Chain A
């Protein structure tokens, strides 16, 4: 879909891809009930959090699935009509722990989406609840629908 701009993979991501590919192969032998869509997305992009976009009369609203983050590790930026959500999920595995199964993504992620209309960058508001980030971006005044009074003579 043309709405999403995927980041071009860099060297580190390419290395990640091999690790994920290994998982993918293991998964193949393991059985079919794996969260395949998530895995496939991660194979190419590290972590691509699912994003939904809504349009209301006054706002553009983005819902982003970011389970288990700390608020302070989520970054939002707006540039040239492009909303970017980035951040880092730090590993919470201690030295004494041994990972018997490791599907959760750990590391840096970045997700961009171009917004369908111009927004007022100074009035963007975000909340984070139950692992879902809600970003409310008020539309710029000039793109808001206006009631026009027409006098018919």
Chain B
């Protein structure tokens, strides 16, 4: 079965238009194995304090607000974006939303989204 954590783009766009706060979409990788999904989201400058996540109507929204190191000097060259990060994903029905866990390390958020017990492959013994 080809299931994945889908990105909910339309919702993200709507949110962006409604809010005055501007966001950029962070780069993400989704891995799947028999036990569930792993979602990795790159948000440089974001730590635990700047992280906000919620699941509503089977949709996972992630917001990461940056706390970049402040330098008391003149900016002479800039490539980084000022905006914070936001991205939304539609959760596959096989995911047990109550068991999602998260950690953030060096600006990469890793979410573990386990599949519900009843959808995991199970061997049936013949008696």
Mark A residues whose CB is within 8 Å of B: 1, 3-4, 30-31, 33-35, 37-38, 50-57, 59, 61, 63, 65-69, 93-94, 96-105, 113, 116, 128-132, 134
By beta carbon, the residue of chain A nearest B78 is A52
Partner of B46, one of A98, A113, A116, A130: A130
B71 at the interface (CB under 8 A from A): yes
B105 cross-chain contacts in A, Cβ below 8 A: 68
**Contact present for B67 and A130 (CB under 8 Å):** yes
Complex CA distance for A63 and B106, rounded to whole angstroms: 14
Instruction: Decide: A130 near B47, CB < 8 A? Known: A51-B77, A54-B76, A68-B108.
Output: yes
B94 to chain A, nearest CB (A): 13
Question: What is the count of residue pairs linking A and B with beta-carbon distances less than 8 angstroms?
Answer: 137
* A-contact 0/1 string along B1-41, CB 8 Å cutoff: 00011010100110000000000111111111110011010
**Contact present for A52 and B106 (CB under 8 Å):** no
* A-contact 0/1 string along B85-115, CB 8 Å cutoff: 0000000000000000000011110000000
**Contact present for B45 and A65 (CB under 8 Å):** yes
Complex CA distance for A129 and B12, rounded to whole angstroms: 28
Complex CA distance for A129 and B71, rounded to whole angstroms: 14
**Contact present for B69 and A3 (CB under 8 Å):** no
B103 to chain A, nearest CB (A): 12
**Contact present for A97 and B42 (CB under 8 Å):** no
B79 at the interface (CB under 8 A from A): yes
A31 to chain B, nearest CB (A): 5
B12 cross-chain contacts in A, Cβ below 8 A: 33
**Contact present for B77 and A69 (CB under 8 Å):** no
B43 cross-chain contacts in A, Cβ below 8 A: 67, 131
**Contact present for A98 and B25 (CB under 8 Å):** no
Cross-chain pairs A/B with CB under 8 angstroms, 8 sampled: A52-B78, A63-B71, A63-B80, A97-B31, A101-B28, A116-B76, A129-B106, A134-B71
**Contact present for B29 and A102 (CB under 8 Å):** yes
B31 cross-chain contacts in A, Cβ below 8 A: 93, 97-100
Complex CA distance for A131 and B108, rounded to whole angstroms: 7
Which B44-77 residues have C-beta < 8 A from chain A? 44-47, 67-69, 71-77
Partner of B71, one of A38, A54, A102: A54
B123 at the interface (CB under 8 A from A): no
* Across the A-B interface, the 10 shortest Cβ-Cβ residue pairs: A131-B107, A56-B73, A68-B108, A67-B107, A100-B4, A65-B44, A53-B77, A101-B30, A131-B44, A50-B79
